[in-house]
Amino acid sequence: MHNLPLTRDLVLIGGGHCHALVLRKWGMNALPGVRVTVINPGPTAPYSGMLPGFVAGHYTRDELDIDLVKLARFAGARLIDGAATAIDRGTRTITVPGRPPIAYDIVAIDVGITSAMPALPGFTAHAIPAKPLGTFASRWDNFRRDTTDPHIAIIGGGVAGAELAMAMAHALRDKTPTVHLIDRGIALKDLGTTARQKMRAALGAQGVQLIENAEVRQITPQGVMLADGRMIRSDFTTGAAGAKPHDWIATIGVETHDGFITVNAALQSSDPAIFAVGDCAHLGATPRPKAGVFAVRQAPVLYDNLRAILSGGDLRPYKPQCDYLKLISLGGKSALAEKFGTARKGPLLWRWKDHIDRKFMDQFGTLPAMQGPKLPRTVALGMADALGDRPMCGGCGAKVGRAALQTVLADTFGDDAAIVQPGQIITTDHLRALTHDPALMARIAAIHALGDIWAMGARAQAATASIILPRMSADLQQRTLSEIMQTATAVMTKAGAVIVGGHTSLGDELTIGFTITGLTENPITLAGAKPGDALIVTKPIGSGTIMAAEMAGAARGADVIACLDLMTAPQANAAERLHAAHAMTDVTGFGLAGHLRGICAASGTGAILTLAAIPLMQGALALAQSGIRSSLFADNQRGAGAVTGPGGATYDLLFDPQTAGGLLAAVAADKAETVLRDLKAAGYPAAIIGEITHDPGITAR
């Protein structure tokens, strides 16, 4: 069946609990014609229900986090790693610093709340708010591991502060911690009498010291200064009070209540194109306290209403319950349950809470893997071999392999760019999209194409763009091209090139390419490597494996984001520091071994690689050890010729296709260490990984 054209843009700002559930439902039953975008500062969204358990040491960080990269891939959505800072309702665009504006037809906001604690003198410099959870969790992880004499202060004596205080005391119980819980009034005043009494007893059992009716004046490096002059020593100060909406919400221009977006029963704001859920929303007709249970139960209604408004259907109301069950962690594996003024506590309740929390998180850990196309009953011979045993990878994993190119283009197969006249070179490179984000893909494709210019020691001069868009409406064509060209222009301008033209067309999927000319008086070619030269690489390898795993839902989101960050790192400054290289290339689709083979063949040499010295991308080795390979792996292995080595995952990564990879240079041995120091000082994760030899073979050891 033909792909249906895209006609509407749905943007989800924030990866909160409600949006996470909406994405899962969308992946199970998407609305054809809708392009979904998720904007979130980071690849994961911590689940607040498990935060006290994480702090106490009952859960790992991976168990705490919802992996939004995997979830977005499952939903067919693009994930933008960044924080929204404004919505322009007139142009219907969203601002995320560092990239072009993102257009929307419908937008939903689920960004939670932030803390008013930074307004306290000294808080920003010497403390950490409990929200956003991700930043807090990372800081706590480091403190828990490194501290030897822990003194802790928690500002805010509500349920959240009390949970954190008991969790911290439990986690550090072997180090005899001093934990203070400070409140400007009476702690736990929002609980019923019975629950409050039990909670205060639990705090005492964990050794938490309550300081009530105390105003905080200042946070210092030594601790918390109170208004009455007392200094509470603290090495780790946090705030669980003063929750407030994000400042940018007030600039949207929709109706708010105490800064929170007021929504109707359908979860719509006063602007029908803007929905809001979770803690950042205020239920105008049926106000409720800020609690995750409401966000979770809003998800089915939000999903239905987003589909309805995007397809011309009727909206349905969200009907919140009057009260909800509060399950409160007590530090150890014990919990308190409170509802309708009745309270109980004990280990059984913690097991119940643990079961509920794990069941919630299991929804995001059991997403179906991407499947290949379903074949008709009868197909032509050779179909199974042509398809392979896995989906075709994007980026350089989608290119024709080195072995095939050598056979067909034997007379022209050589340097990264062609010398068209003395002092001028030209190259062309095109990539099939490996991400749903056209702006990110444009940046990767531009860096990738510029790699051929940099690899020959040249300066970029002029470029033309060649873009194939997937089928979409005229509005979405304009939006998508705008993101692509704004991004590409910024990258090329920084590299010294001017985009002078190009061509666009529609097709089955997004493809972006550039033809670039460059200027150089002394081009660095593949030929020229000399026995004894050191081999220097400027980026880690592993992107083909990571992106193949991402397509299959097997890669950690943090590893994918780190991989994409490396892909978008330009190499112009690295090329300048490698100006004296005897031979140079960029490591792209043929893999490290294939591109090294190109240098050796042109120079009439061989090479020895030290596997342990080759830098690998975060997560690549573990994925390779699990058997994940790019769809181009086998062809790259054939195309690299005989590469003697011990086998194993690191050896296999030599044949992993790279997208926008680093430079590989043969440098005189007596200059290599100086060049390497210069590269590292400039911020490149470069390494010396081997040497050029007289022997024409390649050996990895």
For the segment 650-656, the average pLDDT, to the nearest whole number, is: 97
Neighbouring residues of 91: CB distance < 8 A, sequence distance ≥ 6: 101, 103
HSE of 680 in the Cβ direction (CA atoms, 13 Å)? 10
pLDDT band at 382 (very low <50, low <70, confident <90, very high): confident
Q: Specify whether the CB–CB gap between 19 and 134 falls below 8 A.
A: no
Provide the b/e sequence for 269-299 (b: ≥16 CB within 10 Å).
bebebbbbbbbbbbbeeeeeebebbbbbbbb
Phi-psi sector, 122: left (phi>0), alpha (psi -120 to 50), beta = left
For the segment 651-675, the average pLDDT, to the nearest whole number, is: 97
The span from the CA of 242 to the CA of 239, in Å, is 8
Q: Specify whether the CB–CB gap between 592 and 545 falls below 8 A.
A: no
What stretches of 531-590 show up as alpha helix (H) in DSSP? 543-551, 557-567, 572-577
Four-point Cα dihedral 616, 618, 622, 623, nearest 10: -90
The span from the CA of 278 to the CA of 16, in Å, is 8
What is the average pLDDT score of the chain?
Answer: 92
Q: What is the DSSP letter of 368?
A: P
Residue 358: CB atoms within 10 A of its CB come to 14
pLDDT band at 275 (very low <50, low <70, confident <90, very high): very high
* 489-493 contacts, C-beta under 8 A, 24 or more apart: 491/442, 491/443, 491/446, 491/447, 491/450, 491/570, 492/446, 492/450, 492/460, 492/463
The span from the CA of 109 to the CA of 309, in Å, is 16
Asked if residue 118 has pLDDT above 80, the reply is no
Q: For 185-224, what is each residue's pLDDT tens digit?
A: 999 998 889 999 999 999 999 999 999 999 999 999 999 9
Tokens representing 630? 């790019």
Neighbouring residues of 92: CB distance < 8 A, sequence distance ≥ 6: 103, 104, 105, 273
The bridge status of strand 8-13 relative to strand 106-109 is parallel
pLDDT at 401: 60
Amino acid at 100: P
Four-point Cα dihedral 524, 526, 527, 533, nearest 10: 90
For the segment 44-64, the average pLDDT, to the nearest whole number, is: 92
Q: For 71-116, what is each residue's pLDDT tens digit?
A: 999 999 999 999 999 999 999 999 999 999 999 999 999 998 887 7
The span from the CA of 491 to the CA of 495, in Å, is 6
User: Which of the residues 280, 396, 563, 600 is marked catalytic?
Assistant: 396
- The residue among 697, 699, 539, 555 whose CA lies nearest residue 628 is 555
Asked if residue 671 has pLDDT above 50, the reply is yes
Q: Specify whether the CB–CB gap between 438 and 401 falls below 8 A.
A: no
pLDDT band at 371 (very low <50, low <70, confident <90, very high): low
Neighbouring residues of 552: CB distance < 8 A, sequence distance ≥ 6: 369, 370, 390, 391, 628
Tokens representing 59? 């859960």
Q: For 412-452, what is each residue's pLDDT tens digit?
A: 456 778 888 999 999 999 999 999 999 999 999 999 999 99
Residue, of 520 and 390, whose pLDDT is higher? 520
Q: Specify whether the CB–CB gap between 37 and 480 falls below 8 A.
A: no
Asked if residue 626 has pLDDT above 80, the reply is yes
pLDDT at 698: 97
* CA dihedral sign, ordered 371, 373, 377, 383: negative
Strand order in the sheet with 687-693: 583-586, 663-667, 534-537, 687-693, 606-609, 698-700, 643-644
pLDDT band at 11 (very low <50, low <70, confident <90, very high): very high
Neighbouring residues of 624: CB distance < 8 A, sequence distance ≥ 6: 542, 545, 649, 650, 652, 653, 656
pLDDT at 405: 61
CA distances from 136 to 52, 130, 494 (A): 12, 6, 36
pLDDT at 398: 59
- The residue among 75, 101, 3 whose CA lies nearest residue 307 is 75
User: Which domains does the chain carry?
Assistant: 8-113+245-323 (3.50.50.60), 115-242 (3.50.50.60), 416-524 (3.30.1330.10), 526-701 (3.90.650.10)
**Which span out of 58-62, 131-135, 150-154 was modeled with the highest average pLDDT?**
150-154
- The residue among 194, 203, 73, 155 whose CA lies nearest residue 552 is 73
Q: What is the DSSP letter of 122?
A: T
Whether 396 is catalytic is yes
Asked if residue 367 has pLDDT above 90, the reply is no
Residue 165: CB atoms within 10 A of its CB come to 32
Q: For 313-357, what is each residue's pLDDT tens digit?
A: 999 999 988 777 889 999 999 999 998 778 899 999 999 999 999
pLDDT at 255: 98
Tokens representing 557? 């989101």
Please give the distance of CA 549 from its chain centroid, rounded to a whole number: 14
Neighbouring residues of 627: CB distance < 8 A, sequence distance ≥ 6: none
pLDDT at 1: 37
pLDDT at 340: 76
